[in-house]
Structure 1
Amino acid sequence: MSKQFTANDVKENGSVEKGLHIIIDNDVYEMGGFVDEHPGGAKILKRVGGKDASKQFWKYHNESVLKKYQERLKVGTLKESSKL
Structure 2
Amino acid sequence: MENLYALILGIIEGLTEFLPISSTGHMILGTTILGIDIDEFWKSFLIIIQLGSILAVIFVFWRKLFQGLDIWLKLAVGFFPTGVIGLFVAK
TM range (shorter): under 0.3
TM-score (norm 1): 0.27
Which has more strand, going by share of residues? 1
TM-score (norm 2): 0.26
Q: Larger RCO: Structure 1 or Structure 2 (Cα < 8 Å, ≥ 6 residues apart)?
A: 1
